[in-house]
Amino acid sequence: MKDIQFKITKNEQVNQDTIRLVITADEKLPAITAGQFLQLEVPDNTLILRRPFCIYDYDGYSITLYVAVVGKGTEALKKAKVWDALKAILPLGNGFFNDGSSDAELLRSARNDGRSFGFAQDDKKDDKGGRQGGVPTWIDEYKNIGILGGGIGCAPLYRITKDYPTKNFFAYLGFNTKDRILFTEDYKKTCKKLVITTADGTAYEKGYALDYIKKDLSQLDAIIMCGPHGLVKAAKTALADTKIPVFVSLEERMACGVGACLVCTCPIEVGGATKNKRVCFDGPVFSLQEVIV
Ligand SMILES: Cc1cc2nc3c(=O)[nH]c(=O)nc-3n(C[C@H](O)[C@H](O)[C@H](O)COP(=O)(O)OP(=O)(O)OC[C@H]3O[C@@H](n4cnc5c(N)ncnc54)[C@H](O)[C@@H]3O)c2cc1C
Ligand code: FES
């Protein structure tokens, strides 16, 4: 984890309330794992706390973020100019693969059969921070992986599909309306199947992505998901009986982002007991089975 000085190198509006931000550092970025996030300074002197955003994509020096403009901090980011300087702490959280030290137990239980995962203890990274393969991780045990995303929650799931070109990814991305649809061109390139839904039926399939992934469960070995609270809650019920491991990336309000303040704690059920876990440090990725919603 490192506090790094960045400059904004792109800031474009991609729909009514979302911007795509590319930030570039002078120094080489530390290795990043799919599903990790950063804490970004916002260009407003009245806002001291940094804001958490998932790392959508990255190369050796640059990071791409998609930011939904929902309040003062994200509004300030929308107004920021190219070459404005911002600091960010990264990489944060466990991501979809970790070194096995912090939450091995949580991830193991997602599989429901008690076998342990092979974590990437000393996994190799290529010079762009991506994975080179080599040491097995949990994903190496699965071939057909479902991606379930809702709205801006589709963002943290993209990089995993890019990092593993030999896997079959089946993506189910849900949006409220046609003009909120994002990320489709990227996912088209990396996924074997892509189902896009709109709740109001203004484009693609009408309804909810969860209903479509449910129809294809027999083809899937594992699911990774992220989205609004309502989606996590509905998935918890709808996928309760499946033996497929489901990994969910949670969002909580955060302050420090590094495990020190306890602002982001949420209850997680571990082995029949409820424990408070810090989403920023123990997560944001948990087993859906263990999340209490
Ligand atoms: C690990 C993580 C990854 C995230 N990744 C992204 C991302 O890639 N893109 C993106 O647009 N947003 C992401 N978020 C949510 C983002 O951090 C918040 O929307 C942002 O901090 C709001 O800042 P603000 O100052 O504009 O809003 P505020 O004025 O602080 O709040 C405005 C509204 O946003 C809600 N809100 C604030 N913080 C959060 C939060 N952490 N989670 C959910 N709702 C929140 C508030 O309840 C309120 O309704 C992520 C959050 C977490 C915890
Ligand atoms: S935000 Fe401080 S402990 Fe998670």
Q: Which residue among 50, 66, 92 closes a domain?
A: 92
Same domain for 44 and 154, yes or no, is no
**pLDDT tens digits for 25-69?**
999 999 998 999 999 999 999 999 999 999 999 999 999 999 999
Q: How many domains are there within the chain?
A: 2
- Atom number in ligand 2 closest to CA 279: 4
CB atoms within 10 A of CB 134: 12
Same domain for 158 and 200, yes or no, is yes
CB 251 within 8 A of CB 72: no
Q: How far is the CA of 204 from the centre of ligand 1 (A)?
A: 27
Q: Which residue has the CA at smallest separation from atom 53 of ligand 1?
A: 251
- Give the sign of the dihedral formed by CA 221, CA 224, CA 228, CA 229: positive
Q: Which residue has the CA at smallest separation from atom 4 of ligand 1?
A: 53
Determine phi and psi for 84, rounding to 5 degrees: -60, 145
Same domain for 31 and 164, yes or no, is no
CB 93 within 8 A of CB 35: yes
- Average pLDDT per run of 10 along the chain, which is 293 residues long? 96 96 97 95 95 96 98 98 97 75 44 37 39 53 94 97 95 97 98 98 98 97 96 97 93 95 93 92 92 92
Is residue 208 assigned to a domain? yes
Q: Which DSSP helix (H) or strand (E) runs through 184? A: helix 184-190
pLDDT given at position 140: 76
Identify the CATH number of the domain in which residue 41 sits.
2.40.30.10
Is residue 151 assigned to a domain? yes
Distance of CA 15 to the CA centre of its chain: 20
Q: How far is the CA of 147 from the centre of ligand 2 (A)?
A: 27
